Amino acid sequence: MDILESIKSVLSPPHKAGYPFILGGIVLAVLGLLFWPVLTWLGLIFTLFCLYFFRDPERVLPPRAGVFVAPADGLVVSIEPAIPPVELGLGPVPRLRVAIFLSVLDVHVNRAPIAGLVTRIAYHPGKFLNAADEKASDENERNAILIRLPTGQDVVMVQIAGLIARRILCDITEGAALATGQRIGIIRFGSRTDLYLPEGTLPLVAVGQRMIGGETVIAELSPVLMPV
């Protein structure tokens, strides 16, 4: 991402989930003008932080068919076989999982990794471990989304709360038809997003690589699985 694109990203409009926090910061700043100047500075700093954290930049999809885009900005912390969340009822067979850690500085808007039909959404309460910890996938609070592809394959995307993140927001419902890169929710203040890929999918990223949600090609379907 060049300097101009970085500036545009920082100055992009906030996600609607940030409106109450931004308004709260503004109110605090105004109250400070009336009662205590320190509050004004605290309110302004908090407002600027929320404008940055909740930024929601536009993204450009890759001009390729049969690919999965990153469901979130962040750092790939693991690529390995893992059993999908039990609440989805997919059985004990491991699938290739790509885990992305989002720091407090990353864009936290989640996006659909590929076009498909949402067949199930399952929320699971849990702990608030550091989202970079490998145990976070199994033990932390999470929201699992099952997406059925036109090929009949299933894809699992999981929104996972972290040490600071305590609120998972999901803007879609079961039965929704998703487009690749579509905004589907947000996780507030540091988190993790796991993507369980269908059998035969070819990963195209590596551990330690930075993702741009809705743009980075994270994997592609095997040619035999691509819809005709």
The pLDDT tens digits of the residues spanning 146-172 come to: 999 988 899 999 999 877 656 788 999
Quote the DSSP letter at residue 219.
E
Quote the DSSP letter at residue 127.
B
Closest CA to 197 of 226, 159, 160, 156: 156
Query: Which residues of the chain, if any, have pLDDT below 50?
Result: 228
Specify the pLDDT at position 15. 83
Specify the pLDDT at position 228. 46
Specify the pLDDT at position 114. 95
Q: Round to whole Å and give the CA distance between 202 and 125.
A: 32
The beta-strand segments (E) located in 3-141 are 67-69, 74-82, 95-102, 109-111, 116-124
Specify the pLDDT at position 46. 92
Catalytic positions, written as ranges = 191
Residue type (1 letter), 101: F
Alpha-helical (H) ranges within the chain are 3-10, 19-34, 37-53, 136-139
Specify the pLDDT at position 172. 94
Sign of the Cα pseudo-torsion (217, 219, 222, 228, in order) = negative
Structure tokens at 2: 């060049």
